[in-house]
Structure 1
């Protein structure tokens, strides 16, 4: 186990581990650290705690120092100047006729570098744009192409549920999401209903997937023959969340009854149901 603190540099951004050294650091403090992008001022979201060695990306960097009022003011000034840099870059993109969309701009704390994040359908030759921007800002320029999910995370917004985007609120990393998840959860496969504002499958499809996988395994599927309190029958409809089975009773094509799965005994057909002692996953 290794003692670390968790630091993030943007709201709802990914958390990074740093070694606290001899400093007394608590949640809510601001610290100065060295990152791959340069010197950064970050907010401590979790104080000193221990994590397994396997979860640490080596080498683990140590906090340089605690941030003071000057650092905080500099960070706030950088945030204000980023808005101006965004306007300048947008104007230069139009001037050079580049097919790209500027998403966000970031200054490093010491202003030794400006990062411009953009989206584009393909590769962009932005060498002339970099030269132009370097002449304006007189510092190192870095343009970084990102995906549409990262764009939504940076810009934020409201999802179809009426809540702010999960990615801009609390998601640290994007999880793989597949159309198979929508099928197993019984959702409509209409792309407009299962896609987020970014145009990709909604991240929330992955939240309940372990529960659906478990329930689908322990619930008789459509076509299964089960023994009910009123006799044998064939399952014609399943609600895995409620645990209910709609059964067509044997010898009739018109008599349908609904039972809870606990009232039914799986006999054959459809899919086999595991033993009850199979552990339920944590969700």
Structure 2
């Protein structure tokens, strides 16, 4: 560190799935990213993997609104081979215990879903993560599980978004879920975000793996809201001498809107947003324009699009042409070459 400054003693440690916590390196251990360490827990110790050290931890704590000077649990030591073996043994039992705990919940007719089980590093405690619509009385379930598994039980309720974050998966975009990779906070997502972006209100397309609206609907929402500030609203009515016109569709990227008369809804006319503002201003002055056709006729000229073929493979039947003559020429050329070599010899 420059000028003799001390290294920040905070360390970020990752446990199962995406659960991360901050600890103090009070022992002055030489830690690097990827080291397996034994950390302090409420009772006993836990085992995790170091993900950040040094000043980056201070930045991450400020980002997550954690005071860098707060009293944090400490790191005991680097995990020994005995600690790692015991930790792996507990991890291997999690799937079987999750299955048995679900069966116990079904027998007790509890309206809950146990989605994940996480063992503490020393194997003395297991945390069961579950989702439920309403409050669940699981006191009898805890007694049965403690008797069957012989460990201390902790039940922790999580939301559907947190469940998808812990389990992970691949989204409809083909990439790993944002919540399980980099997304740290869950902002509320409403159907208004889809309306502003002119998306189809189809629940099957807008919902993620958690069953809620996709978090990515908020990513471009601010850009759309900025673009819509000087854009006419979709409920705009234009008054002309031919009749009243209603907005049928808008495209904020191109800055155009489609209007149709009330008596002729099937015939759409394209107007720019500047033209719509001009007509609205005249309507505020209690003036009517002649028709929408006068504005729409001067907007866009049809472009003659010519398709070029840079590769030179236009014909679909280029592979169907007979190739016998070409082969005959090659054979004749080879025969002449052999005869010329024989004469030279």
Task: Please tell me the TM-score bracket, short chain as reference.
Answer: 0.7 to 0.9
Residues 217-240 of structure 1: CA deviation (Å, up to 9, x unaligned) = 365655599xxxxxxxx9985433
Q: Residue 281 of structure 1 corresponds to which residue in structure 2?
A: none
| Structure 2 equivalent of residue 49 of structure 1 | 55
Q: Which moved more, 1:172-181 or 1:36-45?
A: 36-45
User: Given the alignment, which residue of 256, 264, 267 partners 2:270?
Assistant: 256
Q: 1 CA distance for matches of 2:84 and 2:247?
A: 64
Distance (Å, rounded) in 2 between the aligned partners of 1:67 and 1:59:
23
In structure 2, stretches of 5+ residues that fail to align are 1-6, 239-245, 260-266, 282-345
- Where do 1:1-283 residues align within 5 Å? 4-11=10-17, 13-21=18-26, 22-35=28-41, 39-50=45-56, 51=58, 55-57=65-67, 58-217=70-229, 223=236, 238-240=250-252, 242-246=253-257, 256=270
**Aligned equivalents of 2:33, 2:279: Cα separation in 1:** 57
- Counting strand residues as a fraction of each chain, which structure ranks higher? 1
- Does the aligned pair in 2 maintain the 1:20–1:48 contact within 8 Å? no
Corresponding residue pairs, total = 253
Structure 1 contact 107–115 (Cα < 8 Å) conserved: yes
Gaps of 5+ in 1: 226-233, 271-283
> Tell me, what secondary structure is at the counterpart of 2:156?
strand
User: What TM-score, normalized by structure 1, do the two folds share?
Assistant: 0.73
Q: Distance in 2 between the 1:219 and 1:3 partners?
A: 52
Q: State the shift of 1:33 in Å.
A: 1.8
Q: What do the CA deviations read for 1:153-212 (whole angstroms, capped 9, x no partner)?
A: 233333333433322333333222222222222222232221112221111112223333
Q: TM-score normalized by structure 2?
A: 0.62
Q: Please say if residues 14 and 172 of structure 1, whose CA atoms lie closer than 8 Å, have aligned partners that are also in contact.
A: no
C-alpha distance in 1 between matches for 2:153 and 2:269? 72
**Quick check: which one's helix share is greater?**
2
Query: Which has the bigger relative contact order, CA under 8 A and spacing at least 6?
Result: 1
- C-alpha distance in structure 1 between counterparts of 2:42 and 2:218, whole Å: 31
Q: Which runs of 4+ in 1 moved over 4 A?
A: 35-38, 218-225, 234-238, 263-270
* Structure having the higher Rg: 2
Task: Say if 2:258 and 2:271, in contact at 8 Å, map to a contact too.
Answer: yes
SS in 2 for 1:44: strand
Against the structure 1 CA distance between its residues 2 and 244, is the aligned structure 2 distance closer, same or farther, given a 3 Å change threshold?
A: farther
User: Using the alignment, how far apart are the partners of 2:53 and 2:230 within structure 1?
Assistant: 42
Distance 1:23 1:190, change over 3 A: same
